[in-house]
């Protein structure tokens, strides 16, 4: 059984930040990730221009920023392990699809995944490039197509504006106003995107791929022809691996922590979008800060330095 001072579960910004700050303190740390190191920066938004991360006033591409995180983690001696974590125990044992490990502390940074609408036709076409997507990694793939984007947050508006440069785009939002920041709303108003507010998608249909959607608004039902549907309707926590751990979570399944990023189970911390909290912001800068806070407090708890 492998042994570490700290095991971090999740290789996104929060997890990599925790790993970097743990290693900087001289602790032996491993970060486990079953998908892509860099998290959503690489798997969902690789081409996105990140404009709200301090230090990059002109913005930086998400994938490029992720590569900088990964490089720093490796340079600091963090072990990046491409293994799927299956279970975490109260005894700080971590079981993966390859082996079992022990640690003195564990940081859960599993983040979130795109929310599904659960409407008819969604599951039928959300794989094998059949027409239903939850993110846009390469807008050029949609060139010349009729695309329906669903959602009212920043991701939905950013997707719609970006796609409008190469495709015919309609944006549907179930409410009468957007929850996105004002800059994205202004960018949308200057674009060629057709906007339908107070409108919901009720069904996605087609023969062997997406061909139409059925919408409903106060004015009644509408069926329009589309080639692709992008569902950007929020995220749900990746909470399956700690379901049996007994962590205190909120009604959405996000982990409750204190100011030190400690969870309700001794020795287990959490950071990033998996964390609950009033007014919690799903921003890179917040995730990175929480990873640093968790690492700092793990060091204080394990080594009790005089200055603490």
Q: What range does the domain containing 162 cover?
A: 116-231
**Residue 295 belongs to a domain with what CATH number?**
3.50.50.60
Position 308 in a domain: no
Task: Give yes or no: residues 63 and 27 share one domain.
Answer: yes
Instruction: From 210, 231, 252, give the residue that closes a domain.
Output: 231
User: What's residue 279's pLDDT?
Assistant: 59
Task: Give yes or no: residues 39 and 174 share one domain.
Answer: no
Residue 231: both structure tokens together:
């569902």
Q: Answer yes or no: are the C-beta atoms of 201 and 229 closer than 8 Å.
A: yes
CA distance 109 to 43: 16
pLDDT at 303 over 80: yes
pLDDT at 135 over 70: yes
pLDDT per position as a tens digit, 145-168: 999 999 999 999 999 999 999 999
Position 296 in a domain: yes
pLDDT per position as a tens digit, 75-106: 999 999 999 999 999 999 999 999 999 999 99
Instruction: From 204, 231, 258, give the residue that closes a domain.
Output: 231
pLDDT per position as a tens digit, 167-205: 999 999 999 999 998 999 999 999 999 999 999 999 999
Task: Give yes or no: residues 82 and 152 share one domain.
Answer: no
- How many domains does one find in the chain? 2
pLDDT at 278 over 60: no
Instruction: From 231, 249, 269, give the residue that closes a domain.
Output: 231
Task: Give yes or no: residues 109 and 239 share one domain.
Answer: yes
Alpha carbon 17 to its chain centroid, in Å, reads: 15
Q: What's the pLDDT band for 66 if we cut at 50, 70, 90?
A: very high
With tokens 């940074």, the residue in question is: 109
Task: Give yes or no: residues 123 and 227 share one domain.
Answer: yes
Task: Give yes or no: residues 266 and 185 share one domain.
Answer: no
- Tell me what the pLDDT averaged over the chain comes to: 94
Using CA of residue 273, residue 176, residue 138, residue 51, what is the dihedral sign? negative
Share of the chain above pLDDT 70, in %: 99
Task: Give yes or no: residues 108 and 33 share one domain.
Answer: yes
The H helix count followed by the E strand count for the chain is: 7, 19
Task: Give yes or no: residues 248 and 107 share one domain.
Answer: yes
Task: Give yes or no: residues 10 and 107 share one domain.
Answer: yes
């Amino acid at each position: 059984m492998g042994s570490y001072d700290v095991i971090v579960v999740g290789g996104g910004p929060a997890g990599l930040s925790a790993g970097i700050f743990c290693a900087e303190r001289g602790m032996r740390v491993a970060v486990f990730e079953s998908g892509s190191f860099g998290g959503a920066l690489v798997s969902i938004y690789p081409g996105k221009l990140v404009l709200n991360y301090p230090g990059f006033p002109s913005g930086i591409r998400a994938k490029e920023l992720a590569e900088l995180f990964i490089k720093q983690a490796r340079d600091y001696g963090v072990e990046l392990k491409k293994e799927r974590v299956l279970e975490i125990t109260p005894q700080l044992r971590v079981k993966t699809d390859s082996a079992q490990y022990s640690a003195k502390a564990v940081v859960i940074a599993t983040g979130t995944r795109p929310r599904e609408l659960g409407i008819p036709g969604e599951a039928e076409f959300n794989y094998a490039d059949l027409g239903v997507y939850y993110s846009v990694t390469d807008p050029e793939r949609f060139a010349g197509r009729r695309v329906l984007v669903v959602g009212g947050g920043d991701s939905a508006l950013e997707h719609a504006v970006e796609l409008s440069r190469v495709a015919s785009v309609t944006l549907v939002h179930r409410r009468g106003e957007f929850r996105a920041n004002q800059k994205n709303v202004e960018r949308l108003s200057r674009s060629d995107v057709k906007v339908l507010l107070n409108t919901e998608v009720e069904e996605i249909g087609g023969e062997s791929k997406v061909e139409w959607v059925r919408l409903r608004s106060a004015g009644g039902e509408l069926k329009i022809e589309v080639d692709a549907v992008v569902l950007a309707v929020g995220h749900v926590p990746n909470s399956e691996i700690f379901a049996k751990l007994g962590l205190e979570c909120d009604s959405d399944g996000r982990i409750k922590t204190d100011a030190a990023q400690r969870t309700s189970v001794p020795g287990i911390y959490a950071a990033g979008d998996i964390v609950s909290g009033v007014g919690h912001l799903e921003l890179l800068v917040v995730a990175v800060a929480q990873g640093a806070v968790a690492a700092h407090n793990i060091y204080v708890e394990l080594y009790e330095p005089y200055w603490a």
